[in-house]
Chain A
Amino acid sequence: MMEAGTLTPRTGRSTLERSGRARAADPILRWTLKALAALILVLIAFFFVRLFIEAKPAFDKFGYIGFVFNNNWDVSRDTFGAWPLVVGTLLTSAIALIIGVPIAIATALYITELAPRRGRQPLTILVELLAAVPSVVYGLWGIFVLAPKLKPAEQWFSDTFSFLPLVGGPVSIPNCFIAGLIMAIMILPIVSAISREVMATVPSENKEAALALGATRWEMIRMAVLPYSRAGISGAAMLGLGRAIGETIAVTIVIGNAPNVPETIFSQGYTLAAVIANEFGEAASDPTHRAALIAAGLVLFVLTLIINAIARSYVNRAQRGERTVPQGMAG
C-alpha cells in the first residue's frame, strides 16, 4: 500500500509544485489517455467497415437476404447460401443454452445461498477453472473421448425418443449435439459468474424478511432471490448465447463440418464460426469463396454485437444498485 510519504521531496524539489510547468503534463496525459479510449471506438467502426467492404462481393452476387437464407453452401460450384450454417449455429447454441444455463444458475444459487461458507471459495474456483481450459483442448477431448463414449447413450436416446422433433435416426460420431454439449460446458463459467454477481446484489433485508415470515430456504430463493435477479440472469444467459455463437475451434473439431441443414440433433452440421476456420485455407485463391467467408464473419459479428448489447443492458440494469462507481474528486 502506498503512503503519502512517497510524495515528500527526495531531491530537494518541493512537492508543492504549483508552477505551470509541473502541471503542463496534466492535459497531455489526459488527452493521450482519451485518445487511447477513442481508439477503441475507431477500431470497432473500422472493423465493421472493412469486413463489410470485403464481404460486399458475396452480398452483391447472392443478395443480402439470399446469402443468409439460401440453403445452398456448395464450394465446388462457387455457390454460397449460408442458411445451413445459420441453422447449425442456432441449433448448437440452443442445445448449449438448454443444458448449460440451468446448471449455471443452480451452481450460482448453491454457491451464493446454500453452500457452507468454507465451501464457497473452492467451488467458485473450480467452476472458474472451466473457463481456463483452451477451446482447442475442449475440441480434442470432445472428439476423442466424449463423442465415442456418449455414442451408445445418444443412439439409445435417438431410438427411444424418435417421436420428438429433431430426434431419431442414426447417430454420427461428430454431431451437433456433442458440439452443443461442449459449448454448454464452455459457457457455464461465465453464466454462473454473472448470475452469482447479480444474486449477490439481492438485499439481505429481502431474504431475511422471507425467512422471518416462515419461508423455507428454497421458498426464500424463489420469493426473494430469483425475482430480484431475474433481469441479470437473463442477461447472463444472453452473454452465454453470444459466447456459444462465436465459439469456433472446439466446434470445428466436433461438429463434422457438413454444409447441410442438420436433420436431427445427432446429424453432422456446420456453424458460421466453424466454416471460417475450416475453409479459410482453400478460400485463399478463390475471391468469391473468400468474400463469402468474410460475409459469414460479418453476420457473426453483427449477431454477437446485437446479443451482447442487449445482454449488457440487462446485466448493467441488474447491477446498478451495486455498481455505483465512486465519484472521484472534481477533475
Chain B
Amino acid sequence: MTTLPAVSARRRFTDRFMRSLTLVLTLVAIVPLVLIIYYLIKEGLGAWSVDFFTTDPTGRFLGNPGGIKSAILGTIVMVALASVIAIPIGIGVALYLVEFGKQGPFAKVVRYFVDVMTGVPSVVFGLFIYIVLVVSQIGGTFAAWKGSVALALLMLPIVVRSSEVVLNLVPDSLREGALALGAPRWRVIFRVVIPSALAGLVTGSLLAVARAAGETAPLLFTAAFVLGTQFDLSQRMNSLPLQIFNDVGQAQDRLVQRAWGAALTLVVLVLILSLVARLVQRRSRLA
C-alpha cells in the first residue's frame, strides 16, 4: 500500500493557523455578549427592588428618583397594540405572496420592497410618523397609539419575511389533497395551510415583538416621554427604552443606576420573548 506524500509543513501550518484564527475570532464575537450580560447583572440587579417595579419615576431633581412602573406598562401596552396592527397584516401579505402571488411580477416587486423595508432605519419610521401624525395634529400631538403605529411599521417586514418562509414549508401535497376533496381556496388556507404553519407563524411574530420592544428611536418622536402610569392611548406614554435613554442623558449616578435596572428588565423581557419563540418553534417543526 502506497502512502500519499505528506502535506508540507508550510501548508500544514497555514491550515492550523487559519483554523485557529477563525476559532479565536468566533470567541471574540461572543466576548461583548458576555461582558454586556455581566455588567447588566452587576449594575442592574442592585437597582431592582419591589419599589423599583411598583412606583413611577418621580422626575425630582434630588431625592428618590422613583421606579419604572410606567415604563414597563407603557412598553407592554404599546407593543401589544403594534402587534395587533402588524401581525395580521404581515401574515396576510405573506399569505398573498405564497398562495396567490407566487413568482408573478407583482409578488416579486412586493417581496423586493419588503426586503428593502427591513433595511429602513427605525429612526426614519419614527420621523415619518412624526410628520404624518404628530405635526399634522391628528388627535393631538404625541400619543401612545402613534408610537404603536411606528413600531408596527418596523415589525411589518419582519413578520412578512418570517411568515413567508414558514408558509413555503407547508407541503403542496396537503394543499392539493384538500383541493382535490373539493374545498374552496379560502378553506384550504384557513383550515389546512395556517394550522400547519401555526407554530412557525407564532415564532416569527414573537421575534418581531421582541425586536419592537427594544426600539427607542421610533417612540422618541411619537409617544414621547411622560412620568406617570396611564393607559389612555391618545396621551403620551412612557416606555422602557425611552426611560433608559432619558436617564443616560441625565448622567446622574442615581438615574444611571435606574437606567441599568431598567436595561436589565428590558433585556430579560426580550430574552423571554425570544426563548418562548424558540420553544414554540422546537415543539412543532414542519417537514
Residue numbers of A with Cβ under 8 A of B are: 1-2, 4, 6-7, 15-18, 22-23, 25-26, 28-30, 32-34, 36-41, 43-44, 47, 50-51, 54, 102-104, 106-107, 109-111, 114-115, 123, 126-127, 129-130, 132-141, 143-145, 185, 188, 192, 214, 216-219, 221, 239, 242-243, 245-249, 253, 273, 276-277, 280, 293-294, 297, 300-301, 304-305, 307-309, 311-312, 325-329, 331
Contact = CB atoms under 8 A, between A and B. Distances in A.
A54 B128 CA distance: 10
Nearest to A149: B35
A217 B15 contact: yes
A328 B181 contact: no
B19 A307 contact: no
A102 B114 CA distance: 28
Q: Is the interface of B mostly helix, strand, loop or mixed?
A: helix
A246 B217 CA distance: 11
B233 interface: no
Max count, chain B CB within 10 A of own CB: residue among A114, A126, A249, A301:
A249
Contact of B215 (A1, A135, A245): A135
Interface in B112-137: 112-124, 127-128, 130-132, 135
A130 B220 CA distance: 23
Given A103-B25, A294-B131, A134 B216 contact: yes
Given A104-B29, A107-B26, A141-B36, A248 B123 contact: yes
Interface string B57-90: 0000000000000000000000000000000010
A107 to B, nearest CB: 4
28 contacts: A4-B178, A26-B185, A33-B95, A33-B96, A37-B93, A51-B124, A51-B131, A129-B33, A130-B29, A132-B210, A133-B33, A134-B266, A136-B214, A136-B216, A214-B4, A216-B7, A216-B14, A218-B15, A248-B121, A248-B216, A249-B241, A300-B124, A308-B115, A325-B98, A327-B103, A328-B172, A329-B179, A331-B185
B156 interface: yes
B191 to A, nearest CB: 6
A135 B211 CA distance: 10
Contact of B29 (A103, A297, A328): A103
B145 interface: no
Given A34-B100, A43-B153, A4 B26 contact: no
Q: Is the interface of A mostly helix, strand, loop or mixed?
A: helix
A50 B184 contact: no
B260 A140 contact: yes
Given A36-B89, A325-B102, 15 more contacts: A15-B183, A103-B28, A106-B21, A126-B30, A127-B30, A132-B267, A141-B40, A214-B4, A214-B7, A218-B18, A218-B19, A246-B122, A305-B120, A312-B115, A329-B176
B41 interface: no
For the complex of A and B, list the 7 residue pairs with the smallest distance between their C-beta atoms, beginning with the closest.
A246-B121, A134-B214, A308-B119, A106-B25, A33-B96, A216-B15, A16-B182
A312 B117 CA distance: 11
Contacts of A219: 11, 14-15
A25 B186 CA distance: 7
B23 interface: yes
Contact of A17 (B122, B183, B217): B183
A47 B156 CA distance: 15
Interface string B140-166: 000000000000010010001000000
Contact of A36 (B4, B29, B93): B93
Contacts of B93: 33, 36-37, 39-40
Given A18-B182, A301-B124, A312 B245 contact: no
A50 B131 CA distance: 8
A312 B112 CA distance: 8
A276 B263 CA distance: 23
Contacts of B168: 325-326
B259 A37 contact: no
